[in-house]
Amino acid sequence: HSGSTPMDQRRDALAAAARLELEIREIAKRHGGVCTCGSVRVSPNIPTAVVGECDITLDQRHIDAESLAAMLGEAQAASHRFAQEEQVEVSWSHLWRIPPIPFEAALIDLCEEAIVETSGQCHRLPSGPLHDAAEVARAGVPTVMMFVQSLRGLSHAKEEDTKIEHVEQSVIALDKLAEKAMAWIMERK
């Protein structure tokens, strides 16, 4: 019960999880990766009880496999440290593990050229999301992706939208990329 349990005697699983969530952000920053704790479930999940169990999901991504492994190792070490300090237990299980999948460097350069020729600027964005293109690249097919800016930074949401002029520019840039990619393929033959 939260009203009668002294603060120094609590075994608050949410406190340990919250500390971990903040630490994994720092871990990602140190390694140049990204991460999120995208879901949190607590039990008993009532306002007047100390949280006895807390399940969180951790999604870490990095374009370098060694850096990704280091991020996971540091997160696990931090979780054990926080569990000990908060007097709770911790365990890990993997929902899935996907190694970073590099795209074709030459196609990335050609994509950037096409975008700069069209709009005058380009921002490289490592693709953290699990796109079909990653599976194509994993199969050994040279692959690249071109992203179009979403309004308010919202993507993968029903509110996602893009300015019509950005769509028009992206079609032109994609056409240029297709021409450049075809020439690149012909040079390789």
Domain 7-86: assigned CATH number? 3.30.70.360
Question: What are the beta bridge partners of residue 43?
Answer: 53
Confidence (pTM): 0.80
Choose which CATH entry (1.10.10, 1.10.3470, 1.10.150, 3.40.50) describes domain 105-188: 1.10.150
Which ranges constitute the DSSP H helices of 43-189?
Answer: 65-86, 105-119, 132-138, 164-188
CA–CA gap between residue 122 and residue 187 (Å, rounded) = 25
* Per-position pLDDT tens, the chain of length 189: 788 888 989 999 999 999 999 999 999 999 999 999 999 999 999 999 999 999 999 999 999 999 999 999 999 999 999 999 999 999 999 998 888 888 999 999 999 999 999 999 999 887 666 678 888 998 999 999 999 999 998 888 899 999 999 999 999 999 999 999 999 999 998
Return the DSSP state at 120.
S
Q: Report residue 139 CA to chain centroid gap.
A: 22
CA angle (97, 27, 155) in 5-degree steps: 65
Residue spans per domain, the chain? 7-86, 105-188
Residues 16 and 51 sit within 8 Å (Cβ to Cβ): no
Nearest to 58 by CA among 87, 31, 92: 92
